[in-house]
Chain A
Amino acid sequence: MTEEVKVSVKNLFKIFGPHPKKAMGLLEQGLDKDAIFEKTETTIGVQKASFEIFKGEIFVIMGLSGSGKSTMVRMLNRLIEPTSGQVFIDGEDIISMDNDQLVKMRRKKMSMVFQSFALMPHMTVLQNAAFGLEMDGFDKKTREERALQALEQVGLEAWAASMPDELSGGMQQRVGLARGLAVDPDILLMDEAFSALDPLIRTEMQDELLKLQAKAKRTIVFISHDLDEAMRIGDRIAIMEGGSVIQVGTPDEILQNPADDYVRAFFRGVDPTNILTAGDISVDTQVTIVITDGKNSRAALQRLIKNDRNFGYVVDTTRKFQGVVSTDSLREIIDHPDQPQLIANAYLDGIVPAHVNDSMQDILPEVASHPWPLPILNDADEYIGAVSKNLFLRTLQRNEPEESEEPEEMTT
Chain B
Amino acid sequence: MRIAGRGRIDRRSPVRFRFDGIDYSGFQGDTLASALLANDVRLVGRSFKYHRPRGVLTAGSEEPNALMTIGSGAGAEPNVRATVQELFPGLEARSQNRWPSLNFDLMAVNDLAAPFLGAGFYYKTFMWPRAFWERVYEPVIRNAAGLGALSGAHEPDRNEKAYAFCDLLVIGGGPAGLMAALVAARAGADVIVADEDSRMGGRLLAETFEVGGRPGVNWADNVIAELNAMDNVRLMTRTTVTGVYDQGTFGALERVSHHLAVRPEALPLETFWRIQARRSILAAGALERPVAFRNNDRPGIMTAGAVRAYLNRWGVCAGRRVTLFGNNDDMHRTARDLLSAGIHVVAVIDSRHDAPDGRGYRVYKGAMVCDSSGRRGLESVTVRSIGGEDRIATDCLAMSGGWNPTVHLTCHLNARPTWREDILGFVPTPQAVPGMSVAGACNGAFSTHDCLREGAAAARDTLEDLGLRAAAIDLPEAEDAPHAISPLWAVPGSGRAWLDFQNDVCVKDVRQAAMENFRSVEHMKRYTTQGMATDQGKNSNVAALAILADVTGRGIQDTGTTTFRPPFSPVSIAAMGAGAQGKGFAPERFTTSHKASAERGAPMIEAGLWYRPSYFPAPGESHWRQSCDREVNMVRTSVGVCDVSTLGKIDVQGPGAAAFLDFVYVNTFSTLKVGRVRYGLMLREDGHVMDDGTCARLGDTHFVVTTTTAAAGQVMRHLEFVHQCLRPDLDVALTSVTEQWAQFSVAGPRSRDLLNAVLDNPIAVKDWPFMACGQVFVGGVQARLFRISFSGEQAYELAVPARFGDSVFRILLDHAEKIGGGPYGLEALNVLRLEKGFITHAEIHGRTTAFDIGMDAMVSDKKDCIGKAMSRRPGLTDPDRERLVGLKPAGEVQLLVAGAYLFSPGDDPVRVNAQGYVTSVAFSPTLGHMIALGFLRNGPARHGERVRMIDHLRGLDATCEVVDPVFLDPEGERARD
Q: Do A and B bind each other?
A: no
* Chain A residues proximal to chain B, CB less than 8 Å: none
